[in-house]
Amino acid sequence: MWKKIAKLLAALNSNTRPGEIAGGISFGFLLALQPGYTVFRIVLFILTFFLKVNLAAVLLFLFLFSIITPLLDGILDSLGGFILTLPALQSFFTSLYNIPLVPYSRFNNTIVMGGLVLGILLWLPIYVAGNRLIGLYRTTLRDRIAEHPLVKGFLRLPVVSTLAKYIGKAIKLSQEF
């Protein structure tokens, strides 16, 4: 977990494109809205390996959003129930359910359907907000935080400097592979 946080902080402060980090945040949110190990969640997670997104951001924000996702269960249930009971989509869902292996996606679960629809609807706004916040952080906060006396004092601690050195080496090694 600490390694993922260190990688994300390194990406925030490096020349990593903000879009890659924002994409990771958005995918973390979308994955967090899917309960358990559904086919949707597994496919989306595998998809992140083929897209140019920051995997440390995906995993960290998947963890962070998973903490607050249970608070959204009522909304996800209502939204999924609304979509699954739309008369115009009944024949589509019935034909989907009759395709082999598709029922294992649990698309007929109200929370799964609500999470998928809400995640898709909010993916772009979260991406745009994340992209702008990263740009704002880099232009206004990064240098002020790095120059703050408390941060400089903290980084001078022997344990922290040794740990930072080893994390830096681990990040460089992982980037070579």
Give counts: helices (H), strands (E), the chain.
Answer: 10, 0
Q: What residue type is assigned to position 52 of the chain? A: K
> Tell me: the pLDDT tens digits for 97-134?
888 888 888 888 899 999 999 999 999 999 999 999 98
pLDDT for residue 138:
79
pLDDT for residue 119:
93
pLDDT for residue 173:
62
Question: Low-confidence residues of the chain, pLDDT below 50?
Answer: none
Task: Say which residues have a Cβ less than 8 Å from residue 70's Cβ, sequence separation at least 6.
Answer: none
With 0.85 as the threshold, say if the pTM is over it. no
Q: How far apart are CA 126 and CA 39, in angstroms?
A: 23
